[in-house]
Structures are given as structure tokens and as C-alpha cells.
Amino acid sequence: MGELTRPLEQPLARHPRVVIVGGGFAGLHAAKGLARLPVDITVVDRRNHYTFQPLLYQVALAVLSPADIAQPIRTILRRQQNTQVLMDEVVGIDPAARRVALVSGAQLPYDYLVLATGATHSYFGRDDWAPFAPGLKTIEDATEIRRRVLLAFELAERQMVEHGWHPPLNFVVIGAGPTGVELAGAISDIAQLYMRHDFRHIDPAKARVLLLEGSPRVLGAYPEDLSAKAEAALGRLGVEVHTLTHVTGIGPGWVEMAGKRIEAVVTLWAAGVEASPLGRLLGTPLDRRGSVLVDERLNPPGLPDVFVLGDLAHVEQDGHQVPGVAQPAMQMGDHVARMLAADLAGRPRPAFRYFDKGDMATIGRMDAVAKVEWPFKAHMSGFPAWATWLIVHIFFLIGFRNRLSVFAAWIWTYFTFTRGARLITGDQRLPGWQDQIEAGPGEVAKKLKSKTV
Amino acid sequence: MGELTRPLEQPLARHPRVVIVGGGFAGLHAAKGLARLPVDITVVDRRNHYTFQPLLYQVALAVLSPADIAQPIRTILRRQQNTQVLMDEVVGIDPAARRVALVSGAQLPYDYLVLATGATHSYFGRDDWAPFAPGLKTIEDATEIRRRVLLAFELAERQMVEHGWHPPLNFVVIGAGPTGVELAGAISDIAQLYMRHDFRHIDPAKARVLLLEGSPRVLGAYPEDLSAKAEAALGRLGVEVHTLTHVTGIGPGWVEMAGKRIEAVVTLWAAGVEASPLGRLLGTPLDRRGSVLVDERLNPPGLPDVFVLGDLAHVEQDGHQVPGVAQPAMQMGDHVARMLAADLAGRPRPAFRYFDKGDMATIGRMDAVAKVEWPFKAHMSGFPAWATWLIVHIFFLIGFRNRLSVFAAWIWTYFTFTRGARLITGDQRLPGWQDQIEAGPGEVAKKLKSKTV
């Protein structure tokens, strides 16, 4: 195992060492908030890039390119003299010795540790579903979903040309939170508006988009009137919403719900998230999703020098859990900087309080719902909500170049009805497709039903 | 195996069926040239997208995004009513029965067959070198090279931070044709200009770029004065050019030339191409590179209804082979359309004649060499050649959106010295890196030398 090394130790003899693990919303806000303090910061992330997750679904549905919403973490922090960036993965934490172990073998000492590694999708113990129903958390996930959705249309066209029929184009999205709603709306968009003129033999508008949700309504975290508006908007887009529907099985080319199996050319998973496994390394109490229970100063019990932020943290406020979305993550990052400034000044650390400005989700082209809490309180829907969504998301993109290129891509897409990034790269097969075409027309449902799960 | 199917047969009873295999420069020019003729065209490509290969190296070196230089073939041809696009792979040709066999199992009948599947890289029988020295022909190749180059800097920085030293950052490019020269120049650029401010512990300017060439000079197909200018320009960029240097071995982390082994953090292959294996399916004579020998009407011997174009064709003109670059491919595509028009009008087919407008290659930022043949004859170098290169390449990009986004990316890159698409996706290891760091500082060269190839 590694040694402590000179390049790190020399400056750190003077300034407190802050190790920030995770370069997402929370980690980057913490790093930027500490820019002018006399601390030595190391941001560790196993990826070289920050990803603007709220727009990942637009990469998955070929509106944007990966580079439009992602940027190297070291480029974002290049002008920040007290900060270095390390592309590496943390595999151990020793709170007593105050150091983290890296997968590359070295140990990184800290005076303050900030953990902000977020969440990943959870299949509720059914990890065998993962190959058949990818989730959406990374750039790789997004290009994999893009590959599957675009390939489904290509394979159906090929099958039509060569054999005069094709298996049904059912796109199944599991989970109707914001990501599920956005994915379902965007698939319906791409089928109805954008791909209509490109294919000669299939009718992309005949693609079915099914949105399955176990709870009684879509966007369960939103007020009921907005859930109803979102469901109506999805209906107008042709998305078939099935609430109170529990998925009991997923396999190559099919989804099973309450014993009934339907064919699915592409299945996407937006049903559950769990915290990054890093939280477990602390040895402090976790909640059901694996998030670290922290107090109002974002510390786990008994570890005042460790801060846990963003989706990895479970913070209670007024009897409710602060939600795992972008805004609280950014605010927690800012807050850690304020607390360390207090430490350095010998003042007591202020308590964290989440200031909720609202929440919003798009539903296809030019429609959205928004619960606005600040600067005024309102429930918005339709075009005004969508326009607000647009402005807010452009504003929060990091980097002028990304703002410019995303804005240009949107203008282009919304005016020309074509998408800019419709590339299929990598493998050219879809799980289950071959089974379905070998079963033949009309035989597919029968054959699928006779299979055991 | 598949049947002939209704959707194809009905219209084709009236019009001659033209099957075009390959949606590159040659295939697309053939398809577009046939747009207004009474023929039924099927363009078959195993990828869904056309790739503008002359700018692939800019994707590999993170200037451009894949979607900037690639576009779905069916989108390019969407308004062409006599054309359908099929994403499939041809695995057999039966010239007697006039049909091609597809990997999906179907048979596609034709009256005219146009083969334009281009070339791929050739390791001269050493395919075991491929994992250690990727070539550059596809979008996937480009993102793989981008991954390796960017990862090399990240791993060196990590190693510096954690252990105070790193293995040498030698980038080895094998082959000094246009692609090799462009790759070497662009790596030197990215190291010297763009990455200097992003790293705290390594000095990217200390990266070495070696360009190895077996023949006596770089850009061997160019006039000698331009080769000399290119070599001088490479020298100014810090690229170490080694001509008359034959590579005898490539492995994880090293390249061997004439028994001498050097460490190589990234090795790129730009030394040889061979024709697509599809040419072999015809059963007609091939040249050494596997290209199909065709006459001045682009027909292989005895097959007047089969046309072979672009890099897959070996065409002799005035005692020289027409080169395997973009211009002749486009001209051959246009010419096939003219020949079929002649057939339909009952006129004799005109002979193909390559009209050489010149050739050019960039050498890093703001430098290039160009042999201009039309509209005037000249040898250009330096900034004027580079500006000409810029205009020509923007002009030949397909699609207004791509022109706009490439132009914007170039403006951005050249003025801000940053690149827009610096993403590392996929695997986070480099072949040979772990061996080198385990060998320790100073030990690497020794250990490498003691290994057997």
C-alpha cells in the first residue's frame, strides 16, 4: 500500500487538508466555495468529468451530445490555486487515522473529509434485471440507452423490409418519477415527431410507450394537481401510464407485471436509487437506501471532521427528509464551505437549512410541470413551465461553451424537428430481439407466455 | 435463409433495383446522383451513420464531438423518394443470381450492385498488435483513442501525486501518412497548448510525441518539398520524426523498432490500410491490399452490373493507381450515377476519369501542407494552407448543422486554447501502465528490455 508523498505533504504542513470525494453538484460547490480559504483541497473522482445529470435524458434521446453536458473536473477547477484534482477511486476510509485508501494503492490523509459520491440506480435486489433495463446515471448509461432506442427503430425497419412484419415496438419505462416521466415523454417525441420522415416501412408513430409506476400517481413527490397535469400531458403525447403496477420480472425482450408478460423492445429503469456504497465505509448508521444519517451540520454521529452531502446524505428537516435532487446538493456544498470558514475563524459552525426554490420536470416537447417556491409560490404547467425549465437549466450548466452549445442544439431541435446526435455506436444487437423474430409474427406473445421467468 | 419480400418486390417490378453497399463518400455520392432517376435504391450499411473521416482525428483528440462529424444515413437521404436505407451487413454476393445475402438472413435482389465499403487498418498480419495500437477508421476508434490519450495524462498526474514520479509520457504514432501526421501534430498540440493549465504535478509539455515511418520521408504520397515542410513543421511542434524506422513489435506499454524497445504510454496505428473483406466475395482478382481490380467503367472483369468504388476499388489511370482518398471516392460515386443514366437512356456508359484537385494535411494548430492542382497549381504550406484546409473541410461536411457546430467548435478551440470534448468514458485502464508503475522509477526501461517480445 502507498506512502504519503512529498507533493502532497509539503503544502499540507501549513494548511488544513480537505479531501472532497465526488465531483458532482455537491462536491464541486464545496470545492468552489473553499476557493479563497487557506486550505489545500483534493477533489477525488473516479471519472474525469462532471456530468450535468438533469439533462442526461436528452443525451439518452439524442438531442444533446455527451460533451454538451459534461466537462473535465480539472478544467472547471483549473484556475483555483488551492485545489488539485485526482482521478482515482476511494476504496476505504479510516476516520480514526484520518485518511482514505485509493484503489491505486495510495493513502490520502485529510483534516476534513467531504463525501459526495451521490446515488446509483437500485434494482431492489434484482441486479439480474440490469442488463435488460439500464438506468440513467452516467454518460455511458445515456449512450447505451440512445443505442438501444435508435437500434430498435433500425431493426424494426430491417425486419419490415426483409420479412414484411416486425415485433411490436413497445418501449417500457419503469418508474414515474421525474426521470421516468422525462424519458417516456422524450421517447414518444422522438417516435412521433422526429423519426416519422426517416423510415419508409415502419411507422414510428405506432411505437407504444408504456410508463409503469407502483404508486398511485406519477411524480409522487409533486403536489397532486401537478401529478394530474403531468399524467394528462403524457396522455396527449400518447404515453400509456399504468399506475399501481408492480413489475415482477424483466428479461430479454419482455417485462412482467403481476404475472402478465408484455413484449418490450427496450426497457428502461427509473424506479429506484440507492446511495453510493461509499457511505458504508464510514461505519455509521445508514437509512434504508444506504444514505448516511447526518445531523444539521452534515456530520455523521461522532465524526465532526467528516461531512456527507447530496444524495449520499440523509438530512432531516422539519420532520421530512431533504430530497435527493440537485438543489439541496448544491446548497450543502456551499454550506460546507461556510462551516469550514467558521472553523478557521474560530466561530461555531452554522446549521444547514435547505431552502427549497421548487422543482420541475419536462414532459416531452414544450410541456412541463413546475412547483415554484421562490421567488413566488406557484404551480405551473404547459409552456410557461417548460420555458422556465429551459432558462433554469441553461443557467445552471457549468461553462459558457456548454450553455452556448446546448442552447444552439435546442433551438435547432425545436425548429427543425431533427436531432443532432443520433448515433448508434458499439454492439448492434438488442437483448431478446432475435428470440422475437425467430418466434415469427403472431407467435411472439404466445412463445413469451410459455417461457418460464 | 430469408425470402424475397413484398415491400421490396412490388415497386421493383417496374424500376431497376440498385443496391448500394456502404454509406461513405462513394456510396452516398452514388445514391444522391441517382435521386432523380427511375430506379429503386437500397443503401445498406452496417452502421446507422455516415462518418466524415477527414475530421475523425479531431474527435480522437477531443476538439470535436462524434455527432459533429457523423449523421444518420437515413436522415441524409430522407427526402429522396426512390431510396430506402437498411442497417444490415452484407455477408455474401451471388453475381449469377444477382443478389446479396445479409447477416440477418435475408437475400436482397439487385439489377445493379454498387460496392463501396472502403478500407480498414491493416497490421500486416500482426493482428495481435491491434489491442495495443488502435487505428482510426470509425467513431468508436476515435473515442477509444481519445480515452487513451486523456487517460494517460490523468494516470500520470495520479502517479505523481501519490508517488512523486510517473512513467514517461511517450506517445508513439506509427505511420507518417496524412493520418499519422495529423494525429502526431494534434497530440503535441493538446499536450503543449491545451493541457498545460489543467495539471498541477505533471508538465504535459514534457510529453514526447514520436512519429515512426518505415519509408524515407513523411507524407510519402506528397511532393518532396511538401514532405520537407511537413517534417519541419512537426519539428517546430516538438514531434520527434523517425523515418526509415521499422516497427518490429508492439506490446502493452512498449514499441520495438529494430530490436530496440521504447516505452509508449499510448501507441497509435496509422501505418497500413487494407480493403474491406467484402471485395473477396466477388471472386474476381484483387490487388495486394485486397482492393478489387476494376476497369475504367468501375466494373470487375465480366461483371458489367457490379460497380466497385472508393477505397475498395483499384483503378489504374495513366499508369498510376487512383489514390484511396475522399475525392476519387466522391467522383466515382457521381460517375456511377452518370453510367446508370446512360444505361437507362440506351447510351454507352462513359469512362471514369479521376480529376485531381489536390491534397492536403494539417500539422497541428494553424499549419498544413497542400498540393493544389485545381483551380491553379501550387504547393502551399503554413497558415495559407491551413486556412484552405479549413474552408474545404467545412464545405464538404454534410449538413448545415454539422458545418455550424464544427465551425463553432474550431473558433472556440483556437481562441480559448481549450477543447470541448475531453471525456474519458468506458474502461479506466491503459495497457501496460500497471506493469510500468510496478516496475518503479528508473526500473522501467531495464525491466522492459529484459522481457521477451
Alpha helices in B201-352 (DSSP H): 224-236, 326-345
Q: How confident is the model at residue A437 (pLDDT cuts 50, 70, 90)?
A: confident
C-alpha span between A207 and A154 (Å, rounded): 13
Q: How confident is the model at residue A11 (pLDDT cuts 50, 70, 90)?
A: very low
Any B CB within 8 A of A133 CB: no
Whole-number percent of chain B with pLDDT over 90: 81
Give the per-residue pLDDT at B10: 47
**With the C-alpha atoms ordered A281, A282, A285, A288, is the resulting torsion angle positive or negative?**
negative
**Would the pLDDT of A452 be above 80?**
no
Is A362 part of a structural domain of the chain?
no
- Our CA-based measurement puts residue A349 at a distance from the nearest CA of chain B, in whole angstroms, of 31
Whether A84 sits inside 8 A of B158 (CB atoms) is no
Is B419 part of a structural domain of the chain?
yes
**Each residue's pLDDT tens digit, A348-386:** 999 999 999 999 999 988 899 999 999 999 999 999 999
Is the domain of B401 the same as that of B386?
Answer: yes
Q: In what order do the strands lie in the sheet with A358-362?
A: A358-362, A368-372, A378-381
**Residue B295 DSSP code:** -
Whether A48 sits inside 8 A of B423 (CB atoms) is yes
Average pLDDT over residues A434-444: 78
Q: Residues for chain B: how many in total?
A: 453
Residue owning grid cell 466475395? B281
Whether B86 sits inside 8 A of A157 (CB atoms) is yes
C-alpha span between A9 and A7 (Å, rounded): 6
**Chain A residues lying within 8 Å of B423, measured CB to CB:** 48-49, 66-67, 70, 72, 139
Helix (H, G, I), strand (E, B) or coil at A415: helix
Whole-number percent of chain A with pLDDT over 90: 81
Question: What value does the mean pLDDT of chain B take?
Answer: 92
For residue B247, what is its C-alpha cell?
516497427
Any A CB within 8 A of B267 CB: no
Q: Which of the listed residues A345, A365, A395 is the one where a domain comes to its end?
A: A345
C-beta atoms surrounding B218 within 10 Å: 29
Is B397 part of a structural domain of the chain?
yes
Overall domain count for chain B: 2
Is the domain of A139 the same as that of A249?
Answer: yes
Beta carbons of B18 and B111 less than 8 angstroms apart: yes
Give the per-residue pLDDT at A13: 52
A416: nearest CA partner in chain B: B401
Beta carbons of B121 and B272 less than 8 angstroms apart: yes
- Our CA-based measurement puts residue B358 at a distance from the nearest CA of chain A, in whole angstroms, of 31
Any A CB within 8 A of B75 CB: yes
Is A110 part of a structural domain of the chain?
yes
Q: Which of B144, B157, B182, B231 is catalytic?
A: B182
Whether A422 sits inside 8 A of B3 (CB atoms) is no
Is the domain of A306 the same as that of A327?
Answer: yes
Give the per-residue pLDDT at A10: 47
What are the beta bridge partners of residue B119? Answer: B275
**Each residue's pLDDT tens digit, B350-376:** 999 999 999 999 998 889 999 999 999
Give the per-residue pLDDT at A188: 94
For residue A335, what is its C-alpha cell?
454550506
Q: How far is CA B245 from CA B174, B175, B183, B216, B232, in A?
A: 10, 10, 18, 9, 18
Concatenating the DSSP letter of every residue in B223-255 gives -HHHHHHHHHHHHHTTEEEE-S--EEEEETTEE
C-alpha span between B107 and B99 (Å, rounded): 6
Concatenating the DSSP letter of every residue in A12-73 gives HTTS-EEEEE--SHHHHHHHHHTTTSS-EEEEEESSSEEE-GGGHHHHHTTSS-HHHHEEEH
Q: pTM for this structure?
A: 0.94
Whether B104 sits inside 8 A of A158 (CB atoms) is yes
Is the domain of B25 the same as that of B146?
Answer: no
What are the beta bridge partners of residue A321? Answer: A316
Any A CB within 8 A of B398 CB: no
**Each residue's pLDDT tens digit, B98-148:** 999 999 889 999 999 999 999 999 999 999 999 999 999 999 999 999 999
Any B CB within 8 A of A248 CB: no
A202: nearest CA partner in chain B: B7
Residue A174, C-beta contacts closer than 8 angstroms, at least 6 positions apart: A133, A180, A212, A247, A250, A255, A267, A268, A269, A270, A271
Whether A164 sits inside 8 A of B47 (CB atoms) is no
- Our CA-based measurement puts residue B419 at a distance from the nearest CA of chain A, in whole angstroms, of 10
Of chain B, the end-to-end C-alpha distance in Å amounts to 46
Q: What is the ipTM of this complex?
A: 0.92
Least confident of A167-171, B91-95, B362-366: B362-366
Q: How far is CA A229 from CA A128, A368, A380, in A?
A: 35, 9, 10
Task: Indicate the helix (H) or strand (E) that contains B105.
Answer: none
Any B CB within 8 A of A166 CB: no
Q: At what angle do helices B224-236 and B178-189 cross, to 10 degrees?
A: 20
For residue B162, what is its C-alpha cell?
501519490
Burial grade of B439 (CB within 10 A; 0-12, 13-18, 19 or more)? middle
Task: Indicate the helix (H) or strand (E) that contains B359.
Answer: strand B358-362
C-alpha span between A346 and A367 (Å, rounded): 50
Residue owning grid cell 499536450? B191
Q: Which of the listed residues A307, A326, A345 is the one where a domain comes to its end?
A: A345
Q: How confident is the model at residue B205 (pLDDT cuts 50, 70, 90)?
A: confident
Burial grade of B250 (CB within 10 A; 0-12, 13-18, 19 or more)? buried
**Would the pLDDT of A38 be above 80?**
yes
Portion 399-418 of A in contact with B at CB < 8 A:
401, 404-405, 408, 412, 416, 418
User: For chain B, how long is the longest CA-to-CA vector?
Assistant: 77
Whether B7 sits inside 8 A of A143 (CB atoms) is no
Is the domain of A160 the same as that of A265?
Answer: yes
Is the domain of A253 the same as that of A296?
Answer: no
**Chain A residues lying within 8 Å of B8, measured CB to CB:** 161
Secondary structure, 3-state, A109-170:
ECCEEEECCCEEECCCCCHHHHHHCCCCCCHHHHHHHHHHHHHHHHHHHHHHHHHCCCCCCE
Is the domain of B316 the same as that of B237?
Answer: no
Give the per-residue pLDDT at A353: 98
Beta carbons of A367 and A384 less than 8 angstroms apart: no
Cα B121 versus chain centre, distance: 9
A78: nearest CA partner in chain B: B198
C-beta atoms surrounding A218 within 10 Å: 29
Q: How far is CA A237 from CA A183, A185, A392, B193, B344, in A?
A: 12, 7, 24, 48, 47
Residue B126 sits at φ, ψ, to 5 deg, of -105, 65
C-alpha triplet B381, B384, B386: angle, nearest 5°: 75
* Closest-CA residue to B229 (of B357, B389, B368, B365): B368
Give the per-residue pLDDT at B12: 44
C-alpha span between A82 and B107 (Å, rounded): 65
Give the per-residue pLDDT at B440: 81
Is the domain of A226 the same as that of A294?
Answer: no
Any B CB within 8 A of A68 CB: yes
Catalytic site residue B182? yes
Amino acid at A326: A
- Our CA-based measurement puts residue B385 at a distance from the nearest CA of chain A, in whole angstroms, of 28
A73: nearest CA partner in chain B: B198
For residue B264, what is its C-alpha cell?
509508449
Is B73 part of a structural domain of the chain?
no
Is the domain of A113 the same as that of A146?
Answer: no
Residue owning grid cell 490523509? A109
Any B CB within 8 A of A47 CB: yes
Is B416 part of a structural domain of the chain?
yes
Is the domain of A310 the same as that of A280?
Answer: yes
Least confident of A235-249, B337-351, B388-402: B388-402
Average pLDDT over residues A204-228: 94
Helix (H, G, I), strand (E, B) or coil at B100: strand
- Our CA-based measurement puts residue B31 at a distance from the nearest CA of chain A, in whole angstroms, of 16
Q: At what angle do helices B382-396 and B400-416 cross, to 10 degrees?
A: 150
**Chain B residues lying within 8 Å of A425, measured CB to CB:** 66, 139-140, 143
Domain of B388, CATH number, reads: 3.50.50.100
User: For chain A, how long is the longest CA-to-CA vector?
Assistant: 77
Whether B106 sits inside 8 A of A428 (CB atoms) is no
Is B55 part of a structural domain of the chain?
no
Domain of B290, CATH number, reads: 3.50.50.60
Give the per-residue pLDDT at A438: 86
Amino acid at A181: V
C-alpha span between B44 and A164 (Å, rounded): 17
Is A393 part of a structural domain of the chain?
no
**Would the pLDDT of B315 be above 60?**
yes
C-alpha span between B78 and B57 (Å, rounded): 28
**Each residue's pLDDT tens digit, B20-75:** 999 999 999 999 999 999 999 999 999 999 999 999 999 999 999 999 999 999 99
Whether A423 sits inside 8 A of B48 (CB atoms) is yes
Q: How confident is the model at residue B385 (pLDDT cuts 50, 70, 90)?
A: very high
- Compute chain A's Rg from CA coordinates: 23
**Each residue's pLDDT tens digit, A69-93:** 999 999 999 999 999 999 999 999 9
Residue owning grid cell 485545381? B374
Any B CB within 8 A of A152 CB: no
Q: Which of the listed residues A311, A345, A379 is the one where a domain comes to its end?
A: A345
Catalogue the active-site residues of A.
182
Is the domain of B26 the same as that of B93?
Answer: yes
For residue A78, what is its C-alpha cell?
483549473
Is the domain of B301 the same as that of B221?
Answer: no
Closest Cβ–Cβ partner in B75, B88, B159 for A198: B75
Beta carbons of B293 and B160 less than 8 angstroms apart: no
Structural domain boundaries, residue A291? 6-46+88-121+273-345
- Our CA-based measurement puts residue A252 at a distance from the nearest CA of chain B, in whole angstroms, of 19
